[in-house]
């Protein structure tokens, strides 16, 4: 939400600040989750970023009134705005989880297990 607020202050749609904050949040989630919770965290970025983008666009007046073509056009716009943040957050999260997994495998080998 902080990234969207910064982007709103600059007068743009969800952009770079939103991407950066989504990536930072994903990295924090990946570093602080439990080993069992990693499966839940791995699927979170799209499920969090898409609704946040839709709500932000709706509150900023980006939502089309009514139904039909206007709403469909708005939904495509939301998806386009959300994709960079989703992709960046997912990539960063998977990189951190992979690094944690590799580190745990090395630790296990060193301990002779």
Condensed to tens digits (0 to 9), the pLDDT of residues 65-86 reads 556 677 778 778 788 888 998 9
Most confident region among 10-19, 22-31, 43-52 by mean pLDDT:
22-31
Calpha distance 34→37 (Å, rounded): 5
**What is the per-residue DSSP string for 54-72?**
HHHHHHTT-SPSSSTHHHH
Instruction: Identify the pLDDT of residue 9.
Output: 73
Q: Give CA–CA dist 73/17, Å, rounded.
A: 24
In sign, the C-alpha dihedral spanning 26, 30, 31, 33 is positive
Q: What is the mean pLDDT of residues 11-40?
A: 87
What is the value of pTM for the model shown? 0.78
Residue 52 pLDDT class (50, 70, 90 cuts): confident
The DSSP symbol for 14 reads S
Tokens representing residue 86 in the block? 């989703």
């Amino acid at each position: 939400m902080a990234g969207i607020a910064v982007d709103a202050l600059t007068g743009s749609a969800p952009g770079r600040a939103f991407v950066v904050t989504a990536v930072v949040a994903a990295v924090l989630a990946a570093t602080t989750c439990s080993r069992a919770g990693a499966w839940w965290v791995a699927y979170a970025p799209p499920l969090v970023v898409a609704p946040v983008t839709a709500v932000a666009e709706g509150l900023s007046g980006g939502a089309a009134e009514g139904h039909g073509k206007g709403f469909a056009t708005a939904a495509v716009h939301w998806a386009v705005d959300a994709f960079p943040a989703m992709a960046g957050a997912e990539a960063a999260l998977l990189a951190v989880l992979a690094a944690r997994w590799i580190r745990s495998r090395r630790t296990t080998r060193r301990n002779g297990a």
